[in-house]
């Protein structure tokens, strides 16, 4: 079960209307920084699936959209991040549409999440990002498995040189309404900045999910190229 983040067209238009098109915010942020608000486009392979995406950045906000070419797994996310590093009031929201394994088959789902992201600088200039969130999972044709969950994640970004960098992340969700639901993800990546605007990144990801009596574990290689401007 893989989760991407996205939203319906009316909500997308509402979010886009609230974003400045200046796209000049936080030019000092690293291209791999999750709080980077620069406008960007990207393309990559998630296992054997080709995905495309992009984000529209403003002075304190961004809207980001990622999808596979089939359009059945997509993500639309929104971030409010005050200018400057060290802010502890960064609000995230996203809607994910994907597929979920259930006892009656592989069904379409929507997952809605709202969270707060904090940032601090750790050892040797390592950037550490923590997020606490809540989400609601709605599975089409299987409402008995719908659930509310608490979500926590930690991500670390370590630039080694002007060009090379590593990222490590782990994320866990667990139901808080008595349902049987657990989701866990961990990944590590190596990135290389070709220029200030272009980078590539290779990532190895592990996912483990359980909903009711259905369990799924999988590992994936991800390769992506990104440009910001």
The mean pLDDT value for 146-172 works out to: 95
Domains of the chain: 8-228 (2.40.160.40)
Cα–Cα–Cα angle for 111, 186, 171, rounded to 5 degrees: 45
The string of DSSP codes covering 38-75 is: S-EEEEEEETTEEEEEEEEE-SSEEEEEEEETTSSSEE
Tens digit of pLDDT for each residue in 178-225? 888 999 999 999 999 998 889 999 999 999 999 888 898 999 999 999
- How far apart (Å, rounded) are the C-alpha atoms in residues 163 and 13? 36
The mean pLDDT value for 145-160 works out to: 94
Tens digit of pLDDT for each residue in 4-55? 333 333 333 333 333 333 333 355 788 899 999 999 999 998 877 888 999 9
- How far apart (Å, rounded) are the C-alpha atoms in residues 134 and 150? 5
């Amino acid at each position: 079960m893989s989760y991407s983040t996205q939203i319906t067209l009316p909500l997308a238009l509402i979010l886009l209307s609230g974003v400045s098109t200046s796209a000049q915010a936080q030019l000092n942020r690293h291209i791999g920084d999750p709080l980077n608000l620069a406008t960007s486009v990207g393309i990559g392979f998630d296992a054997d699936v080709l995905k495309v995406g992009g984000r529209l950045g403003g002075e304190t906000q961004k809207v980001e959209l990622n999808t596979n070419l089939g359009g059945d797994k997509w993500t639309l996310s929104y971030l409010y991040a005050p200018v400057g590093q060290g802010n502890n009031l960064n609000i995230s929201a996203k809607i994910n549409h994907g597929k979920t394994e259930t006892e009656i088959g592989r069904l379409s789902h929507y997952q809605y999440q709202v969270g707060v992201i904090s940032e601090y600088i750790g050892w040797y200039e390592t950037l550490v990002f923590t997020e606490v969130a809540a989400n609601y999972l709605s599975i089409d044709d299987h409402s008995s498995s719908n659930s509310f969950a608490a979500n926590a994640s930690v991500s670390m970004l370590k630039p080694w040189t002007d060009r090379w960098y590593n990222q490590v992340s782990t994320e866990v969700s667990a139901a808080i309404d008595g349902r049987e639901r657990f989701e866990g993800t961990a990944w590590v990546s190596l990135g290389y900045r070709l220029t200030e605007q272009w980078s590539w990144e290779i990532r190895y990801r592990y996912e483990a999910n359980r909903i009711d009596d259905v369990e799924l574990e999988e590992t994936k290689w991800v390769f992506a190229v990104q440009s910001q401007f």
